[in-house]
Amino acid sequence: MPEILLLDLGSTSLKWQTRSGAGLVLDTGRHDWAVSGAAPELPQCQPQAVWMVRVGAAEREEILRAALRARYGGVPVVSVRPRADGPGGLRLDYDLQQFGADRYCALLGVVARTRKPAVVVDAGTAVTVDLLAADGRHLGGYILPGLRGGLAAVSRLFPDALQAQVAPTLRQAVESLPVDSGISPGHDTGEALLRGWVLGLAGAVQRVGAQAAETEEGVEWWLTGGDAGWLSSLLDRPVHLVPGLVFDGLWCHLRPRRGDGGTLP
């Protein structure tokens, strides 16, 4: 069966899906890849096409494209670029040179599912919060430091000895974040920093997302990204948790070229 390989090249990882021609998800995977010289891990398949979302430096995409050629030969590779008028009625009033393809695809994934106004949160290396009107207009957004980047930035302000003391606590905690214990105050600097940042980030997301409720009624919240699970549990509202939202939007961006109108399968 011919497969299409979808790639999400983030700042620190490479995620993928393989889909059938009808859009059914056949396989998923993730590889922590910071381009340190090693080639990225790629799925064992022979796709008929590769569709890609990339954020960050263009050099990373070139390295990935070389790995794709070595692994799959001359398979066509298409990299998504945001459009002011996207499929499904999405309309962007934003500098497209500065709007990440992952944010664009996450919005498309929501537009393909609902015509209600929405808050779209992608919680990854950075946390982006984008607001959508019911007619598909993008109302703007916010960008916040993500969990790991924020913790690293603050801990670098500590004296060297304290950095060494808190590093193991932070490293172990972010690998398996205990949401329940993240609400209570910490009893050492590592715990205090982690729990303060977790609650602060959740509070910031909730506050900036609430801007949508001031102008739109019936707003729905959609969350995706590696940290969406714990973040959703700390938000005081119902949310739709969709891990593959960026892939869904990538599919909707390119599928209309094959004639099906850009809706999800």
Contacts of 185 (CB under 8 A, 6+ apart): 192, 195
227 assigned to active site: no
Question: Comparing 127-141, 172-186, 225-239, 246-260, which segment has the lowest mean pLDDT?
Answer: 172-186
**Active-site choice (85, 93, 102, 227):** 102
pLDDT above 70 (res 176): no
Distance CA 149, CA 128 (A): 14
pLDDT of residue 260: 44
Confidence band for 156, pLDDT divided at 50, 70 and 90: confident
| Domain annotation for the chain: domains and CATH numbers | 3-79 (3.30.420.40)
Confidence band for 40, pLDDT divided at 50, 70 and 90: confident
User: What's the mean per-residue pLDDT of the chain?
Assistant: 87
Burial of 86 (0-12, 13-18, 19+ CB in 10 A): buried
pLDDT above 50 (res 69): yes
pLDDT of residue 259: 46
